[in-house]
């Protein structure tokens, strides 16, 4: 009997080795099949590193070796390559989302043919953790490269522009030393830039107004002191007819302003907008023809901004400059943008403010990328923490609950009966909190399959209708007649998300109200909107509402919406909220068509 058992175990081990060997041989086919479904994976720039990284990740998970913090250098370098090649944020997001789908597909295929050793969900969780760490590194390197290239491009463009205009431009520091000279100035003076930077202008030439070889320099010059007192700019204009002079000057100025990467707005002392460059038109969605030579109050009106919030108008009134102040503005098209604002003033000889200059840089995409990196790091740390404490906490809770259940239900001692009635539900609640905590840190892979969202909405309504009646909430459902495509969902997980959102809506309408659930058919996705007429939320709450443990409820855990966010991410979808205090809230969930 012992011999037969040994032979059988050896046979099983050999079969597993043969199967694993078969899986490894088929990995390239599996990876190619999954990658062919992703447009970005066909790029000559991305194809080789993506396939190499996918094989590396699957083999490490397959073999059970390495750490969840291991990095694949070639995959991380994609961040540098995409930044160098001018890829936009949408391209990077497509790669990050697509890699998750490729890994899902390959792991599912390996599990289907029986190549996984152990639980498939644990394997998927390990793969996603390792993918998350590498995605974070790729994203961080992309942000670094893009910021560096933008800065280099800005400086190069500025120098190209200044060197291309026919005016001579010289800049000086507060000690009268030359800090910059454009090409026209060097050609007029017949000197090399490197030979004059750092010297005083009156020591450069043998005679003022003449070049190094003694030629007359036919220019008129205008010195403009900087408002902060840290030097001046000397501009030389070719001596031409007055009308031609102003025409050339205006054309040159507009060319320089429109080449800037920042939005530029200039007000004169009468609060009239004299300059509104191309980048400002894009940032604020206001055509230049509608705003130029109009009152600055019209500019504030279109941005729905009060006078006291405008740094540009504060500079016009007081002359005080502002540097790199971060502000959130809403453009005329209703889009919120986060801008870095700097202002300066130009003053006359008597100290009167003649112009106020505002420069606006769009930080929205950069801050979004930084938040994505921080979120990825936060959940990585949270995952380690959860894995370490969940087992240690659940064991004593299970033991305590077991002993409490052994106590007799009909005990004559009221304290024993009270102990069972109070402590066991609290232990169950603690276990639920731990389960939610683990869902945030280590979300279980959704069991995606084509299912009907119409039926799911009907089931949701049946579940929440009694609570709506009890709280005097009018429940309204708007179902799309038909959808453009099929949607793959995990029904149980998605129902949990819908219940979390509707429970929050009921909590916000303690004195009654209206809850509207709408299923909307879109071009590339289906949207589910939950609109309530509750107390609403301010901006600070909206920014933190999906953070773990953040809650305003007296008995809340702050895990419901955080869990919902992770579930929707697992469906390759998005969830976001719009709200104003006192005006209710709208939660929108978007799920892609399969």
Mean of pLDDT values over 367-392: 63
| Burial class, 488, CB count within 10 angstroms (exposed 0-12 / middle 13-18 / buried 19+) | middle
The whole-chain average pLDDT of the chain stands at 78
Torsion from C-alpha of 453, 454, 457, 461, nearest 10 degrees: -160
Contact of 449 with 487, CB cutoff 8 Å: no
Confidence of residue 9 (pLDDT cuts 50, 70, 90): very low
Does 331 reside within a domain? yes
Contact of 534 with 513, CB cutoff 8 Å: yes
- The alpha carbon of 485 is separated from its chain's Cα centroid by a whole number of angstroms, namely 28
Question: 330 and 412: one domain?
Answer: no
Question: 142 and 16: one domain?
Answer: yes
Q: How far is CA 122 from CA 108, 237, 249, in A?
A: 12, 73, 68
258, 286, 317 - which closes a domain: 258
Domains contained in the chain, number: 5
| Higher pLDDT among residues 125 and 21, named by residue | 125
Query: In the predicted model, is pLDDT for residue 557 greater than 90?
Result: no
Query: In the predicted model, is pLDDT for residue 249 greater than 50?
Result: yes
Contact of 512 with 535, CB cutoff 8 Å: no
> What tokens appear for 362 in the block?
């769009």
| Higher pLDDT among residues 470 and 421, named by residue | 470
Does 427 reside within a domain? yes
Query: In the predicted model, is pLDDT for residue 341 greater than 70?
Result: yes
374, 403, 438 - which closes a domain: 438
Rounded CA Rg of the chain: 33
197, 229, 258 - which closes a domain: 258
**Which domain range does residue 281 map to?**
260-362
Q: Supply the pLDDT for residue 5.
A: 45
Q: Supply the pLDDT for residue 15.
A: 41
Question: 72 and 211: one domain?
Answer: no
Does 150 reside within a domain? yes
pLDDT tens digits, 354-365? 999 989 888 887
Query: In the predicted model, is pLDDT for residue 6 greater than 50?
Result: no
Q: For strand 263-268 and strand 273-276, is the pairing parallel, antiparallel, or unpaired?
A: antiparallel
Q: Supply the pLDDT for residue 473.
A: 92
Question: 146 and 20: one domain?
Answer: yes
Question: 345 and 232: one domain?
Answer: no
Which uninterrupted H or E stretch holds 298?
helix 296-302
Does 128 reside within a domain? yes
569 conformational bin, left if phi > 0, alpha if psi -120 to 50, beta if neither: alpha
Contact of 72 with 99, CB cutoff 8 Å: no
Question: 182 and 233: one domain?
Answer: yes
Tell me the C-alpha distance between 331 and 333, whole Å. 5
Q: Supply the pLDDT for residue 87.
A: 81
- The alpha carbon of 290 is separated from its chain's Cα centroid by a whole number of angstroms, namely 32
Question: 197 and 211: one domain?
Answer: yes
Mean of pLDDT values over 196-206: 70
| Higher pLDDT among residues 459 and 394, named by residue | 459
| Higher pLDDT among residues 183 and 390, named by residue | 183
- Concatenated DSSP letters of 193-220: HHHHTTSBGGGTSSSTTB-TTS-B--EE
**DSSP letter (8 states) at residue 445:** P
Q: Supply the pLDDT for residue 299.
A: 80
Question: 425 and 495: one domain?
Answer: no
Does 444 reside within a domain? no
Q: What is the CATH number of the domain that holds 487?
A: 3.30.565.10
Does 542 reside within a domain? yes
Lowest mean pLDDT among 181-185, 443-447, 465-469, 585-589: 443-447
Does 249 reside within a domain? yes
Lowest mean pLDDT among 193-202, 330-339, 467-476: 330-339
Q: Supply the pLDDT for residue 10.
A: 40
Q: Supply the pLDDT for residue 435.
A: 66
Question: 215 and 77: one domain?
Answer: no
Tell me the C-alpha distance between 424 and 430, whole Å. 10
Confidence of residue 393 (pLDDT cuts 50, 70, 90): low
Mean of pLDDT values over 287-293: 87
Q: Supply the pLDDT for residue 151.
A: 79
Does 443 reside within a domain? no
Question: 414 and 525: one domain?
Answer: no
Confidence of residue 115 (pLDDT cuts 50, 70, 90): low
Confidence of residue 534 (pLDDT cuts 50, 70, 90): very high
Contact of 133 with 91, CB cutoff 8 Å: no
> What tokens appear for 149 in the block?
């290239």
Question: 205 and 344: one domain?
Answer: no
Question: 240 and 282: one domain?
Answer: no
Q: What is the CATH number of the domain that holds 304?
A: 3.30.450.20
């Amino acid at each position: 009997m012992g011999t037969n058992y040994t032979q059988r175990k050896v046979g099983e081990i050999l079969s597993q080795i043969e199967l694993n060997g078969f899986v490894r041989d088929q990995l390239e086919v599996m990876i190619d099949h999954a990658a062919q479904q992703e447009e970005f994976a066909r790029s000559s720039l991305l194809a080789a590193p993506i396939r190499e990284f996918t094989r590396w990740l699957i083999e490490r998970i397959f073999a059970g070796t390495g750490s969840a913090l291991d990095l694949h250098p070639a995959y991380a370098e994609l961040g540098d390559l995409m930044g160098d090649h001018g890829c936009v944020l949408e391209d990077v997001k497509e790669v990050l989302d697509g890699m998750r789908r490729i890994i899902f597909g390959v792991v599912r295929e390996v599990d289907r043919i029986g190549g996984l050793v152990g639980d498939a969900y644990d394997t998927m969780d390990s793969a996603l953790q390792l993918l998350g760490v590498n995605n974070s590194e790729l994203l961080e390197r992309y942000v670094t490269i893009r910021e560096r290239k933008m800065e280099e491009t800005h400086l190069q463009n500025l120098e190209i522009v200044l060197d291309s205009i026919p005016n001579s431009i010289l800049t000086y520091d507060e000690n009268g030393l030359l800090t910059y000279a454009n090409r026209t100035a060097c050609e007029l003076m017949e000197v090399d830039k490197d030979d004059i930077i750092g010297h005083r202008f009156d020591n450069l030439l043998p005679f003022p107004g003449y070049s190094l070889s003694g030629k007359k320099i036919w220019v008129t010059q205008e010195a403009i002191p900087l408002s902060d007192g840290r030097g001046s700019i000397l501009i030389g204009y070719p001596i031409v007819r007055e009308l031609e002079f102003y025409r050339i000057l205006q054309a040159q100025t507009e060319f320089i302003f429109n080449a800037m990467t920042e939005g530029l707005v200039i007000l004169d002392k009468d609060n009239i907008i004299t300059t509104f460059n191309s980048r400002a038109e894009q940032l604020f969605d206001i055509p230049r023809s509608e705003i130029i030579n109009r009152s600055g109050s019209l500019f504030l009106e279109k941005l729905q901004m009060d006078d006291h919030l405008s740094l540009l108008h504060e500079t016009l009134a007081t002359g005080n400059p502002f540097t790199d102040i971060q502000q959130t503005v809403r453009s005329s098209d209703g889009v919120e943008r986060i801008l870095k604002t700097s202002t300066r003033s130009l003053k006359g000889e008597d100290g009167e403010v003649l112009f106020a200059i505002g420069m606006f840089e769009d930080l929205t995409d950069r801050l979004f990328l930084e938040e994505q990196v921080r979120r990825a790091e936060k959940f990585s740390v949270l995952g380690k923490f959860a894995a370490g404490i969940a087992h240690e906490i659940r064991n004593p809770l299970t033991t305590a609950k077991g002993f409490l259940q052994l106590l007799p239900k009909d005990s004559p001692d009221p304290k024993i009966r009270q102990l069972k009635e109070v402590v066991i539900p609290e232990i169950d609640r603690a276990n639920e909190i731990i389960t939610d905590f683990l869902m945030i840190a280590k979300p279980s892979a959704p069991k995606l399959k084509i299912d009907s969202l119409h039926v799911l909405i009907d089931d949701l309504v049946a579940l929440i209708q009694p609570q709506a009646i009890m709280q005097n909430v009018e429940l309204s459902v708007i179902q799309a007649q038909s959808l453009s495509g099929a949607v793959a969902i995990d029904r149980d997980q998605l129902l949990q998300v819908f219940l979390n959102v509707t429970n929050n809506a009921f909590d916000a309408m303690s004195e009654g109200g209206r809850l509207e659930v709408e299923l909307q058919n879109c071009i590339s996705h289906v949207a589910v909107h939950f609109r309530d007429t509750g107390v609403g939320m301010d901006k600070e709450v909206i920014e933190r509402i999906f953070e773990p443990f953040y809650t305003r409820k007296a008995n809340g855990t702050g895990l419901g919406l955080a869990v919902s966010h992770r579930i929707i991410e697992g469906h390759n979808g998005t969830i976001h909220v719009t709200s104003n205090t006192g005006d209710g809230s709208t939660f929108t969930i978007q799920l892609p068509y399969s």
